[in-house]
C-alpha cells in the first residue's frame, strides 16, 4: 500500500511532537507500506517568518517572501528525516526542487501544475520513507513559489493523485470533521463521512480544517481523504464522492466571522451599474461573496455585498475612487457581521431547509441581514455577537447533536 500522510504545523511543533510523528510513520513503514510524508512548517513558523519579513520591509517582494517562507517546511522535513534516522528507519527529505513540484508562476498563491514522480518512486524502491515539503513549488523560472496559507493539504492531495496512492491521510490537531466547530458548539458531533461538495462548502465557509483547494483537487482526481488526529488513534472522517449512510438533511453548520458588509446606496437604476461596481473591485483583485440588489425606486437602487474583513479598506478605497463614475450617493460599511451557513447534500431533494433555518433564527430573536443559497447550502449574514447563539440554535434545530 502506498500512503501519503500529511502533518500540520501543530503536529510537528517541537522535538516531542516530531518523534511522535516519526513513530507513527515508522509503524506504517514496518507494516510494509510505502510511506510518503508531507509536512507543514513547525508550529507558527510561517507567521514568524512573515513578521520577520515585514519588520525588514513592510511590503516585501513576493519572490523573496516565498524564498523565505519555503525555509519553514525545509526545516521540518530535514528534522523529521533525522528523527527517523535516529529510530533506525531509512528516510530522505525532498524539497519542491528536488521532487520537482511544478507550479504556476505567481508567488504567494501558485497552483500545482505537474509533479515529477521518478525521484520519489526511486527513493520508495530503496525502502525509504520519503518526506516532502508541503506548501511550496517551483515555477518555470526556477523560482520558489508557495500555494497560499494552509497549502500543505493541497500538496498532499496532489502527491496522492500523482502517485496513485491508496490513501491520503491528513493529520491535524482535531480528530476529524465536526458538524460544527466544537469550540463554539459543545454538542458538535464528529462525522464518519462527508462528500467532497459538502466539505468544499464547509472549508470555504469557515470550517478551517482543510485548505479548500485541496478538497477541490481531491474531488477532481477522486482521492479519498481521511482527516484524523496526530495524537490519538481515533478513526477520523472520510471525505469522498458519495456517502453510504443515510443522508441527513443538513451535514454541518459553519460560521465565518471574517466578513464585512458594504452597501453602495443610491446608485442609478440602469444597465451597467452593477458591472461597473464589481468590475472595479475585480480589477483590484477583491473577491466578492454575497450580493444583494434592492428593487429600484425613483430611478435609484442600492447594492450590498460582503467581502473578507482584511480587504474592506481596500474595497472602500476602490469605491471612493469610483464614486463619480458610479454616481452613488453614499457608501456604508458594517464590519461586525458574520456568516452562518448550513451545508448538506440532502437539501437538494428536500424543501424547507431555508425556512427551518429562518424559523430557528426568528425563535432566537436573531435578525438576518442578507441571505444567499446554493443547491447544498443556505448562508445568512448576521450580527457578529450573535454567532454563537445562532450556530448552537441551528445545530440543534437540525438535530445534529450527539
Ligand atoms: N506553513 C504554511 C502555513 O502556515 C502551509 C501549511 O501549514 O499548510 O500556511
Ligand atoms: Mg492547515
Take residue 197 and report the three cell numbers written for it. 461538495
pLDDT, averaged per 10 consecutive residues of the chain (402 residues), comes to 97 97 98 98 98 96 97 98 98 98 95 97 98 98 96 97 96 91 90 93 82 93 94 93 75 93 94 94 90 90 94 94 89 96 87 93 96 93 97 94 82
Give the Å distance between the CA of 210 and the centre of ligand 2.
6
DSSP secondary structure string for all residues of 172-218: ESSSS-BSS-TTT-TT--B-SEEEHHHHHHHIIIII-SS-HHHHHHH
Host H or E run for residue 348: none
Alpha-helix residue ranges (DSSP H) falling in 128-208: 152-162, 196-202
CA distance linking residue 381 with residue 261, whole number of Å: 9
Give the Å distance between the CA of 12 and the centre of ligand 2.
12
Nearest atom in ligand 1 to 153's CA: 8
What is the per-residue pLDDT for 73? Answer: 98
Give the Å distance between the CA of 8 and the centre of ligand 1.
7
Take residue 251 and report the three cell numbers written for it. 451535514
Residue nearest to atom 9 of ligand 1 (CA): 149
Residue nearest to atom 6 of ligand 1 (CA): 150
Ligand 1 pocket test, candidate residues 134, 152, 155, 213, most atoms within 8 A of CB: 152
Helix (H, G, I), strand (E, B) or coil at 194: strand
Nearest atom in ligand 1 to 211's CA: 8
Nearest atom in ligand 1 to 9's CA: 7
CA distance linking residue 173 with residue 203, whole number of Å: 16
> Mind listing the domains of the chain with CATH numbers?
2-173 (3.40.1160.10), 253-397 (3.30.2130.10)
Residue nearest to atom 4 of ligand 1 (CA): 46
Give the Å distance between the CA of 388 and the centre of ligand 2.
23
Ligand 1 pocket test, candidate residues 9, 43, 95, most atoms within 8 A of CB: 9
**Does ligand 1 have an atom closer than 6 angstroms to the CB of 43?**
no
pTM of the model: 0.86
Amino acid at each position: 500500500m502506498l500512503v501519503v500522510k500529511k502533518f500540520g504545523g501543530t503536529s510537528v511543533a517541537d522535538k516531542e511532537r516530531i518523534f511522535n510523528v516519526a513513530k507513527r510513520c515508522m509503524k506504517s513503514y514496518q507494516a510494509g507500506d510505502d510511506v510518503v510524508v508531507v509536512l507543514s512548517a513547525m508550529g507558527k513558523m510561517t507567521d514568524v517568518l512573515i513578521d520577520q519579513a515585514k519588520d525588514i520591509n513592510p511590503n516585501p517582494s513576493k519572490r523573496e517572501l516565498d524564498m523565505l517562507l519555503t525555509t519553514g517546511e525545509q526545516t521540518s522535513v530535514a528534522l523529521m528525516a533525522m528523527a527517523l534516522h535516529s529510530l533506525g528507519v531509512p528516510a530522505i527529505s525532498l524539497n519542491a526542487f528536488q521532487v520537482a513540484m511544478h507550479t504556476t508562476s505567481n508567488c504567494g498563491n501558485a497552483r500545482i501544475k505537474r509533479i515529477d514522480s521518478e525521484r520519489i518512486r526511486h527513493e520508495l524502491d530503496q525502502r525509504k520513507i520519503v518526506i516532502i515539503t508541503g506548501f511550496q513549488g517551483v515555477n518555470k523560472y526556477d523560482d520558489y513559489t508557495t500555494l497560499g496559507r494552509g497549502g500543505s493539504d493541497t500538496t498532499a492531495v496532489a502527491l496522492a493523485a500523482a502517485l496513485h496512492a491508496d490513501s491520503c491521510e491528513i493529520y491535524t490537531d482535531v480528530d476529524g470533521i465536526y458538524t460544527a466547530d466544537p469550540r463554539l458548539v459543545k454538542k458538535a458531533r464528529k462525522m464518519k463521512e462527508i462528500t467532497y461538495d459538502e466539505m468544499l462548502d464547509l472549508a470555504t465557509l469557515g470550517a478551517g480544517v482543510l485548505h479548500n483547494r485541496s478538497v477541490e483537487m481531491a474531488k477532481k482526481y477522486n482521492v479519498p481523504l481521511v482527516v484524523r488526529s496526530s495524537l490519538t488513534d481515533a478513526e477520523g472522517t472520510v471525505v469522498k464522492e458519495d456517502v453510504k449512510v443515510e443522508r441527513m438533511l443538513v451535514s454541518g453548520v459553519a460560521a465565518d466571522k471574517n466578513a464585512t458588509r458594504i452597501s453602495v446606496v443610491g446608485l442609478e437604476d440602469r444597465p451597467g451599474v452593477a458591472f461597473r461596481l464589481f468590475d472595479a473591485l475585480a480589477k483590484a483583485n477583491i473577491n466578492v461573496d454575497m450580493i444583494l440588489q434592492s428593487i429600484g425606486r425613483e430611478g435609484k437602487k442600492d447594492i450590498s455585498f460582503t467581502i473578507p474583513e482584511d480587504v474592506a479598506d481596500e474595497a472602500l478605497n476602490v469605491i471612493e475612487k469610483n464614486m463619480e463614475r458610479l454616481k452613488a450617493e453614499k457608501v456604508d460599511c458594517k464590519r461586525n457581521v458574520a456568516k452562518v451557513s448550513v451545508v448538506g447534500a440532502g437539501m437538494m431533494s428536500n424543501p424547507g431547509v431555508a425556512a427551518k433555518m429562518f424559523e430557528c433564527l426568528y425563535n432566537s430573536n436573531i435578525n438576518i441581514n442578507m441571505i444567499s443559497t446554493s443547491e447544498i447550502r443556505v448562508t445568512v449574514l448576521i450580527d457578529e455577537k450573535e454567532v454563537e447563539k445562532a450556530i448552537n440554535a441551528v445545530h440543534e434545530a437540525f438535530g445534529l447533536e450527539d
